[in-house]
Every structure is written in C-alpha cells, then in structure tokens.
Structure 1
Amino acid sequence: MRWLNLSLLILYPLAWSAPLLRAGLLPLFDLTEISVLTGLQSLWASDVFLALVVTVFALFAPYLKTIGLALYDFGLLSPRALPVLHLLGKLAMADVFLIALYITLAKGIGLGRIETAWGLYLFTACILASLFLSLAASRRPHVSTSETVKIDHTD
C-alpha cells in the first residue's frame, strides 16, 4: 500500500498534463486537447478566483493528501492527522465533479463536440486510488517506525 501511494506522487503530475478531453466547436474542425493544466491556464486568464479554487481542489488537495498519507504510512505523521487527510480527500473529489459538469454542459450546448481522452481515466484512477488508500489507512492500526525496527543491545 505504501508504494502504491508513493506512485501517486508521480502519476498525479502525469495525469494533470495528460489530455482529459478533446473539444471542438463544430464536428468538421479538429479537436483541441484539454488537460488539467491547460484548462487552468485558460481559467487563470479569464477568472482568477475560480482558477484559484480549482487549483486548490485539482492540484493541491490531492497532492497534499498523498504526501500526508505517505508520511503516515512511514510512521512520520500521527494518526490524529487522519481526519485532516480525509477532509483533503473530500476536497480532491470536487475536481472530478467539475470535469463531469464541464462535459455535461458542453454536450448540452449542441454546437461543439466533446470526446473524453485517456487522461480523464488516469486522473479519475488516481483520485479513486487515493480514496481507497485513505480508507485503508483509517482502518489499520498505526505502526511507528520505532516499533518496526528493533535493535538488540545485549552485548
């Protein structure tokens, strides 16, 4: 479980730069690939407050939760921090909702064309893996590093 969580520290940035959607104005034109990062760049140019909120939910919340869970897994963070990690996990799920909302709105307009891309599945898998790992962490007893390493000093 520890290593799966640590792999999220690599997979999240990959998922942020991977294409989530392909969007185009009319069916005859080429589709533009949209990732979390390109979407945030566009958002920063048009609405700074919304960009800040989405940046916190899509980037910082899941990454901080993953780092916190890694610290917990290796005995460097107290079990008392698990409720904070759980809250960060709830905040991180908000970005999946936002993406679903954008797809629904774009398809409802009728002028454009939206296709999901492989990055959407990777990003969703990262979020769901993080959720699974945090649930598993909250159900197991905490083992500190001092308990896992026993040194015999009987010379």
Structure 2
Amino acid sequence: MRYANLLLLILFPIAWFAPLLRAAFLPVFGMDEISVISGLQSLWRDEPGLALLVTFLAIFAPYAKTIGLALLHFGLLSARALPGLQFLGKLAMADVFLIALYVVLAKGAGWLSIETAWGLWLFSFCVLSSLVISACSAARPAEKV
C-alpha cells in the first residue's frame, strides 16, 4: 500500500494537467480541452472565491492526504491523524462529484457539446485509490502498510 500511495504523488499532478473534458459551444466548432489547471486559471480570473474552493478540493486536499498517508506509512506520523486524512479524502471526492454534475448540467443545456476525456478517469482513479489506501491504512494502523 505504501508504494501505491507514493505512486499517487506522481499521478495526481498528471491528472491535474490531463484533459478532463472537451467542450464546444456548438458541435460544429472545434472542441477545447479543459483540465483542472486550465479550469482553475479561468476561475481565478472570473470567480476567485469559487477558484479558492476548487483549488482546495482538487489540489490541496488530495495531495495533502497523500503526503500524510505516506508519512503515516513510513512511521513519521501518528495513526491518530488518520481520521483527518480520511476527511481530506472525502473533500477531494467532492471535486469529482462537482465535475460530474457540471457535465450533466451542460449536456442538458443542448447548445453545449461536452465529452469526457481520459484525465477525468485518471483523476477519479487517483481520488478513489486514495480512499481505498486510506481505508486499508485504518484497518491496519499499527502495521506498516
């Protein structure tokens, strides 16, 4: 488990830059790829409050949890921190839910064409893997996972 968690330290940044979805105003026009980072750049220009929330949910929460679990796995952090790390993981999952909600709402609008891309699957995989690693860590807190 400890090496799977360390792998997430590499996969999360890849997922942030990977295309989450492709969107176009009308299907006739070319599709623009949207990643976590490009979406955040747009949000910081238009909606700084929402950008701060999404930055916390998409970048800070999952990465802080992954680093915390790595410290726990290598005996550098007490097992008492695990509930806080699990809470961070739940916050990160909220971001995947928000992305899915935006896709459903935009598809319902009719004038906007949206396709999911491989980055959404990678980001979802990273968040879900982190939740599983966290659950396994909670099941065996005394051992090195």
How high is the TM-score relative to the length of structure 1? 0.91
2:33 is aligned with what amino acid? E
Q: CA deviation at 1:84?
A: 0.6
The answer to whether residue 71 in structure 2 is matched with residue 71 in structure 1 is yes
Aligned mates of 1:112, 1:52 — CA distance in 2 = 26
CA distance in 2, matches of 1:142, 1:60: 27
Matches of 1:35 and 1:50 in 2, distance apart? 16
Specify the SS of the correspondent of 1:20.
strand
How far has the Cα of 1:101 moved from its partner?
1.1
How many residue pairs align between the two structures? 144
Structure label with greater radius of gyration: 1
Alignment-derived partner of residue 12 in structure 2: 12
Deviation of the 1:103 alpha carbon: 0.2
- What RMSD, in angstroms, separates the aligned Cα atoms of the two structures? 0.9
CA distance in 1: counterparts of 2:12 and 2:120, whole angstroms = 12
Provide Cα deviations, 1:129-153, integer angstroms capped at 9, x if missing partner.
Answer: 0000000000003247xxxxxxxxx
**Aligned residue number for residue 54 of structure 1:** 54
Which residue of structure 2 aligns with residue 44 of structure 1?
44
Describe how 1:103-114 pairs up with structure 2 within 5 A. 103-114=103-114
Matches of 1:139 and 1:76 in 2, distance apart?
Answer: 18
Is this contact kept in 2: 1:86–1:134, CA < 8 A? yes
Out of 15-24 and 135-144, give the one that drifted further: 135-144
1:82 to 2:82 alignment: yes
Amino acid in the other structure paired with 2:104: T
Cα distance per residue 1:63-115 (max 9 Å; x no partner): 00000000000011001101110111111111001101110111011001000
TM-score by length of 2: 0.97
Q: Match for residue 29 of structure 1?
A: 29
Structure 1 unmatched ranges of 5 or more:
145-155
Look up the equivalent residue of 1:84 and give its one-letter code. Answer: G
The offset of 1:61, in angstroms, is 0.2
Q: Where do 4+ consecutive residues of structure 1 move more than 6 Å?
A: none
Distance in 2 separating the partners of 1:54 and 1:133? 23
Match of 1:98 in 2: 98
Q: Tell me, in whole angstroms, the C-alpha distance in 2 between the residues paired with 1:26 and 1:92.
A: 31
Deviations 1:17-64 (A, max 9, x none): 000000001111100000000000000100000000010000000000
